[in-house]
A and B are shown apart, each in its own frame.
Chain A
Amino acid sequence: DTAVSQTPKYLVTQMGNDKSIKCEQNLGHDTMYWYKQDSKKFLKIMFSYNNKELIINETVPNRFSPKSPDKAHLNLHINSLELGDSAVYFCASSQGQYENIQYFGAGTRLSVL
């Protein structure tokens, strides 16, 4: 049983398209995150939700919109995709917002052509 699962695993799309990535965790955690890992391997937090409430919103273009329908799900919608959006996007979860240990999904490799 995968604890944090995200779909799709790979996403190849054209510039200007809109796409979504889904994430689900079955750990009963309250807090979920989206990270972006670029080609230089830096892993940076984008958003964090605690019990469906947005608690971290880094400087991310507003083309990126997270949605948390319930505390087990955190989806990421990206409008008007750009070449620079190509990266690996990781979803993660933790017991609570002050919990240090985070569990990551396998990642979604997004390639924008």
Chain B
Amino acid sequence: RKEVEQDPGPFNVPEGATVAFNCTYSNSASQSFFWYRQDCRKEPKLLMSVYSSGNEDGRFTAQLNRASQYISLLIRDSKLSDSATYLCVVNIHKLIFGQGTTLQVKP
């Protein structure tokens, strides 16, 4: 079983749509959690940290469920510029990256 699992997609959505990505992790000792964004042929960049209480940054909402070992990212009112691969990341003394979920927002 992979340490961090994501549905690779692609998710094709129209502008303005709400889209949700899910991620599961296998190691219950995982300490911290993140979503990174990677544009095509570019480096990963931190999008946001994920907390058990849930956290929001503009149109982006991240949620962590430690009991289920499940992380989610919700994007509201999708923009064309949101098209990218979203990487679920878990910290167990080092960063473990999921394969990424590709989002394509269409006009």
Contact = CB atoms under 8 A, between A and B. Distances in A.
Contacts of A76: none
B61 interface: no
A90 B44 contact: yes
Majority DSSP secondary structure for residues of B touching A:
strand
Contacts of B87: 43
Interface residues of B, number: 17
A106 B43 contact: yes
Contact of A40 (B34, B46, B99): B99
Contact of A44 (B85, B97, B100): B97
B27 to A, nearest CB: 15
B43 A107 contact: yes
Contact of A48 (B94, B97, B100): B94
B44 A100 contact: no
Given A41-B85, A90-B43, A107-B43, A100 B91 contact: yes
B1 interface: no
B94 A100 contact: no
Closest CB pairs A-B (n = 8): A104-B43, A43-B97, A100-B32, A45-B94, A104-B44, A100-B91, A106-B43, A101-B46
19 contacts: A41-B85, A42-B97, A42-B99, A43-B44, A44-B97, A45-B95, A48-B94, A90-B43, A90-B44, A100-B49, A100-B91, A101-B46, A102-B46, A104-B43, A104-B45, A105-B43, A106-B42, A106-B43, A107-B42
Interface of A: 40-45, 48, 56, 90, 100-102, 104-107
